[in-house]
Structure 1
Amino acid sequence: MKTSFFLLFLLGWSGVAMAQKPTRLDSIKVVPIDTVYWKRSAQAGINLNQGSFSSNWKGGGVNSIALGAFFNAKSDYMQRRFNWTSEVQLQYGIVKNQNQDSRKNVDRIFLDTKVGHRLSPVWLAFGNLNFLSQFATGYRYEQLPGGGERNVLISNFFAPAYLTESVGLEYKPTTYFNLQFGLGTIRQTFVTDDAITAGEPTRYGVAPGKNVRNEFAFQLIANFDRNLMENLNLKARYQLFANYATLNAIDHRLDISLTAKVNKYVNVNLTGIVLYDKDQDDAIQYSQGLAIGFLYSF
């Protein structure tokens, strides 16, 4: 009985469909299911810098060569009120100066994922997980009184490493700018290499004899990512971290990247970092880099 009813329903529906005006197949727009809500991008590249001088070069200088590699990827999923954004930044580079051992000039592991629920056209409630560390050992190079230098270990993989979990509100008025107010933020600072104690007495705020420090804080993050011109992109990320227990010592970090695309495979990249963290140093830290290299986007 049920089968007969189902067949009658199909026949009736077919008759209604046939009575309607036929639709041309070439007028139907077919959208792949996997690409309806996703936006993905990735970049990989190699940078090479080199300089050499003759033995009688009066302007001074030292022969050097630097090689770096990077991989950046980002995915953004949006469906109605739900949003999920993830980002990966991996960078590593070394430099070799004449009469010196090779040493790194860039080292970064950055992983970030955020889930949001849209409350209004410009406001979202979000949950965020972020990880920051480095690949290899880091040294401070000190000149010895009798000449030469010594290497003092000050950092390593997972020493330090920062794992941050945050929930709060996000203000996103445009696609290229947003503000995240992490009202409830917990950060774990890891120092898993005990040999760093001698080179970096503060141990990045981790108490002697321990490998992790927990902080409950307020976090503010501002992101800006926009093409200033057709082949010129500016990307900036500012982070404020205020431990509720020690509001008189607020951490600040600003990352800026300006990328000019020469052609499909060659780009010029200017980067800068400004950091103030009393658990690392009482003074402001900064780094800057300029590179030209091969870039592949997909």
Structure 2
Amino acid sequence: MTQKTILFLFLFSIQQVWAQNASSEAAADSVVYWKNGGSFALNIQQVGLTNWAAGGESSLAIGGTLEGFANYEREEVVWENRAKFGYGVIRKGDNTNRFEKTDDAIILSSKYSQKFSQMILMSAAINFRTQMDEGVKLENVAGQSEKRRVLISDFMAPGYLQASLGLTYRPQAGLSATLAPFTGRFTFVLNDSLSRAGSFGVIAGEKIRSEAGISLIGTFERTLMKNVELKTNYNFFSNYEKFPNTVVNIEAGLNLKVNDFIQSKVNTQLIYDDDVKVTRSDGTRGRDVQLKNVITVGFTLKF
């Protein structure tokens, strides 16, 4: 056997080994452990009335929502992350009137889990919620025709941070529930005037309230029919000192897809917090159910 033949066989063997390794690495890299995506929705509604016999008032409403998720799953590890930013305003009447806020939300969540099985996991989660802008309520003033604008909320007033450790049950895709007997809930009221008033359950003059309790957090997602999706998030928290009084936060959304760019959404959010007093439509103040319903049709871009 000549030296050229030996050299050829040696190089050929190296090439084969390299090709097999490259093939194995490519096969391993073809497994996708990260799943991520998001969407941006913009909704605009304008009503213009001039000498309209039936009556009514012109209005302009603008709203937008930016959502995203990044989920990782490999072997025994599951890491789920979600973010949502929403803002909307409406102006009634002509250009001299103010825009009033109709939607304002910052929601961030992250949950890290270790599998006991495909359906049972040990989970540590963090959920954060606040708003971007000031919130006001218009109140009647005795003897005056114009209403008074009263500040009732602001950025980080309130802000909620909830950290929990517990067990997650996920019997199928789109359905999960985490029961966490070790949950800490922190309420922030960083606006001085709202803090002095003792808003959102903090002690008057304090800016942070901490609570220890038990929580139940979960999601439910299902395609009801073609181009119709239901998404629900819920969060129940009960302070051990006030058990079984429970803070309730439920969000449900129905997405109706027209095409890749046009969608209609029906969103409902229900909140009840025994420590939060609200001003009712009749002017009285007290504990009550907070309910928000939003129906929109607009441009949606998914990525």
Match of 2:284 in 1: none
| 1:243 Cα deviation from its structure 2 partner | 0.2
Matches of 1:44 and 1:143 in 2, distance apart?
Answer: 38
| 1:49 Cα deviation from its structure 2 partner | 1.4
Counterpart of 1:296 (choices 283, 298, 301) is 301
Match of 2:199 in 1: 203
Match of 1:214 in 2: 210
Matches of 1:32 and 1:140 in 2, distance apart?
Answer: 57
* Letter of the 1:153 counterpart: L
* Letter of the 1:75 counterpart: A
With normalisation by structure 1, the TM-score equals: 0.87
* Letter of the 2:188 counterpart: F
* Letter of the 1:90 counterpart: F
Match of 1:3 in 2: none
Gaps of at least 5 residues in structure 1 are 1-9
Secondary structure, in 3 states, of the residue corresponding to 2:103? strand
Counterpart of 2:39 (choices 35, 43, 47) is 43
Counterpart of 1:102 (choices 99, 103, 119) is 99
Tell me, yes or no, if the aligned pair for 2:201 and 2:276 is still in contact at 8 Å.
Answer: yes
Aligned positions, number? 280
Match of 1:84 in 2: 79
Residue identity (%)? 29
Secondary structure, in 3 states, of the residue corresponding to 2:192? coil
Secondary structure, in 3 states, of the residue corresponding to 2:171? coil
Secondary structure, in 3 states, of the residue corresponding to 1:172? strand
* Letter of the 1:49 counterpart: Q
Matches of 2:31 and 2:104 in 1, distance apart?
Answer: 33
Judged with a 3 Å threshold, the aligned counterparts in structure 2 of structure 1 residues 31 and 68 are, in CA distance, closer, same or farther, namely farther
* Letter of the 2:296 counterpart: A
Matches of 1:56 and 1:297 in 2, distance apart?
Answer: 39
Matches of 2:230 and 2:246 in 1, distance apart?
Answer: 26
Matches of 2:294 and 2:103 in 1, distance apart?
Answer: 9
Asked whether 1:111 is paired with 2:105, we answer: no
With normalisation by structure 2, the TM-score equals: 0.86
Tell me, yes or no, if the aligned pair for 1:49 and 1:291 is still in contact at 8 Å.
Answer: no
Secondary structure, in 3 states, of the residue corresponding to 1:247? coil
Secondary structure, in 3 states, of the residue corresponding to 2:172? coil
After TM superposition, the structure 1 = structure 2 runs for residues 63-74 of structure 1, keeping only pairs within 5 Å, are 63-74=58-69
Asked whether 1:287 is paired with 2:292, we answer: yes
Counterpart of 1:160 (choices 155, 158, 161) is 158
* Letter of the 2:253 counterpart: S
Matches of 2:270 and 2:175 in 1, distance apart?
Answer: 20
How large is the Cα RMSD of the aligned pairs? Answer: 2.6
Tell me, yes or no, if the aligned pair for 1:172 and 1:178 is still in contact at 8 Å.
Answer: yes
| 1:31 Cα deviation from its structure 2 partner | 5.2
| 1:228 Cα deviation from its structure 2 partner | 1.7
* Letter of the 2:98 counterpart: D
Asked whether 1:252 is paired with 2:252, we answer: no
After TM superposition, the structure 1 = structure 2 runs for residues 175-190 of structure 1, keeping only pairs within 5 Å, are 175-190=173-188
Judged with a 3 Å threshold, the aligned counterparts in structure 2 of structure 1 residues 226 and 148 are, in CA distance, closer, same or farther, namely same
Tell me, yes or no, if the aligned pair for 2:195 and 2:205 is still in contact at 8 Å.
Answer: no
| 1:79 Cα deviation from its structure 2 partner | 0.3
| 1:238 Cα deviation from its structure 2 partner | 1.6
Tell me, yes or no, if the aligned pair for 1:254 and 1:273 is still in contact at 8 Å.
Answer: yes
Secondary structure, in 3 states, of the residue corresponding to 1:222? strand
| 1:35 Cα deviation from its structure 2 partner | 6.0
Secondary structure, in 3 states, of the residue corresponding to 1:173? strand
| 1:250 Cα deviation from its structure 2 partner | 1.2
Tell me, yes or no, if the aligned pair for 2:189 and 2:195 is still in contact at 8 Å.
Answer: no
CA-to-aligned-CA distance 1:95-124 (integer Å, 9 cap, x gap): 011154211100000000000011012100
CA-to-aligned-CA distance 1:149-197 (integer Å, 9 cap, x gap): 1110010000000011100000000111111101100011000001225
Matches of 1:92 and 1:204 in 2, distance apart?
Answer: 21
Matches of 1:223 and 1:197 in 2, distance apart?
Answer: 33
| 1:29 Cα deviation from its structure 2 partner | 10
Match of 2:227 in 1: 231
CA-to-aligned-CA distance 1:48-103 (integer Å, 9 cap, x gap): 11222232331x32110110111100111100110000000100011011154211
